[in-house]
Structure 1
Amino acid sequence: MHTAAPRVTVGKATVTLAPITMTHAEGPLPDGGKGQVWGAMHSAPTAVPGGLTGTPAGGRSPVLGLAIQPEYGGRSDFYTGRWSMRLRLLSPLLPHGCTIGADAPLDFQLKRSGPSRWVSQDPPLIEFSAYDDTFTAPAAEHCGPLAGPLNRRLGLPASSGNVMSYDASYTFRTYDQLPSTT
């Protein structure tokens, strides 16, 4: 299991997302290959400064507020650092399906910023930092009549200038430490 509070810039919007918690399993397979199993991803919405309008009034108004809710995008390969995510956009004025990366998720190729650091041996706790400054951010989709103004406000689509800084910690248990189910 690992937890991170990524700082992400997509287009003209920069936010430090609420902590993301992911569970997954990985390790060697009997044939010597590498195996991975995805578990789940959880996070809370994060307010976007300036709300829908990009102004101080937009950031203070409940009706004009805007939040980003990270969601799993269908890919996770923690051996290579590849991971995908969608960013659901939440506002009283937007339909539920309004999402950056709805049809084609943001695809990250995380690179380590430095070495991992063991914080504790028992329980195991490791911290690491990674980043991606090469991903593209598609336009928000399924946003109804506000799609055009919303994409202009957020500067989407954006083929460059997007950055994710990913400071995380993780812990693990080996299979021989798991409780027996029989």
Structure 2
Amino acid sequence: MSITTAHHRRLRLAGRAAATVAGAAALAGLVGAFTPSYANAEPAAGTHSASVAEPPADFSDCPALPAGVDPVRWRCEVHSAAARLTMGKVTVTLAPITMTHAEGPLPDGTNGQVWGAMHSAPTAVPGGLTGTPAGDRARQLGLALQPEYGDRFDAYTGQFSLRFRLLNPLLPHACAIGADAPVDFQMKRSGPSEWLSKNPPLIKFSAYDDTFAAPAAENCGPLTGLLNRRLGLPATSGNLLSYDAMYTFRTYDQLPTD
């Protein structure tokens, strides 16, 4: 069930699916593809939090809940991912990405989701605009990639969208890969989710997509053609997004009220 929003503060309920046995079975096969909110299995006996990293525990982006739902059964879920991206001719390790959303049962018993927010920071593209050492040394020739929420997120199926804003003093602010039609990802798990801690809940997982198409950069002014040749865009194959992430959650009755 997807959530579509024109802004990360605007909330929309995910679409509702009929609760059939076949549908539930299909959903069970997809659960955990994106984040393991889904990881309903308990952590192994003896698991504790003494030796694990702190979870991404900032719950300030938890969205408001839909009317009529039970806060005890809804979870605010936060995951932080260390992402690696190959798109066209560019391969970078992106700055950490943090996403927040809520999910739980709707009043009619079907699953619901509400988008919260996404945060990341620009990542320098090696070689800058020119693809040469000069692009790493001169500010005017540098280039950075800023991932932004692309108005689609579905934790149940692993589908989400991103835009990649291209930053350089010579480029307009609107210059982006996926400016008009965001890049769509269908994430798949690289392996089973791993409970690192039960209290606080902390789950580790890995996911990837190697099937997405990368569109050309748009709205980049006179440098649009040069930029696309430099980045090798559009690229219909050979692209990869993969990441290792940690995930935590709280039910809404456990969230701070102030």
* TM-score for the superposition, normalised by structure 2: 0.69
Give the count of matched residue pairs: 181
Query: 1:178: how far off?
Result: 2.5
- Which structure dedicates a bigger proportion of its chain to strand? 1
- CA deviations on 1:60-113 (whole Å, 9 max, x unpaired) are 111100000000000000100000000000001111110000001000000000
- CA deviations on 1:9-40 (whole Å, 9 max, x unpaired) are 11000111100111110122222211100011
The reply to whether residue 12 of structure 1 matches residue 115 of structure 2 is no
**Partner AA of 1:50 in structure 2:** G
- CA deviations on 1:119-151 (whole Å, 9 max, x unpaired) are 111111111100000000000000000000000
Which of 161, 168, 182 in structure 2 is aligned with 1:105?
182
The reply to whether residue 137 of structure 1 matches residue 217 of structure 2 is no
Superposed structure 1 runs of 4+ greater than 4 Å apart: none
Match of residue 176 from structure 1: 253
Match of residue 143 from structure 2: 66
CA distance in structure 1 between the partners assigned to 2:109 and 2:132 by the alignment:
55
Which of 71, 75, 80 in structure 1 is aligned with 2:157?
80
**Partner AA of 1:168 in structure 2:** A
User: Aligned to 2:139, what secondary structure does the other structure show?
Assistant: coil
Which of 14, 25, 29 in structure 1 is aligned with 2:106?
29
The reply to whether residue 48 of structure 1 matches residue 125 of structure 2 is yes
CA distance in structure 1 between the partners assigned to 2:128 and 2:248 by the alignment:
35
**Partner AA of 2:154 in structure 1:** D
**Partner AA of 1:35 in structure 2:** G
Unmatched tracts of structure 2, length 5 or more: 1-77
CA distance in structure 1 between the partners assigned to 2:155 and 2:197 by the alignment:
21
CA distance in structure 2 between the partners assigned to 1:62 and 1:136 by the alignment:
30
- CA deviations on 1:130-174 (whole Å, 9 max, x unpaired) are 000000000000000000000000000000001000211111001
Query: 1:180: how far off?
Result: 5.0
The reply to whether residue 128 of structure 1 matches residue 218 of structure 2 is no
Match of residue 57 from structure 1: 134
CA distance in structure 1 between the partners assigned to 2:147 and 2:184 by the alignment:
13
- Larger relative contact order (Cα-Cα within 8 Å, sequence gap ≥ 6): 2
Match of residue 57 from structure 2: none
* TM-score for the superposition, normalised by structure 1: 0.97
Identity %: 78
Query: 1:179: how far off?
Result: 4.0
CA distance in structure 2 between the partners assigned to 1:32 and 1:58 by the alignment:
55
User: Aligned to 2:173, what secondary structure does the other structure show?
Assistant: coil
User: Aligned to 1:161, what secondary structure does the other structure show?
Assistant: coil
Unmatched tracts of structure 1, length 5 or more: none
CA distance in structure 1 between the partners assigned to 2:246 and 2:185 by the alignment:
18
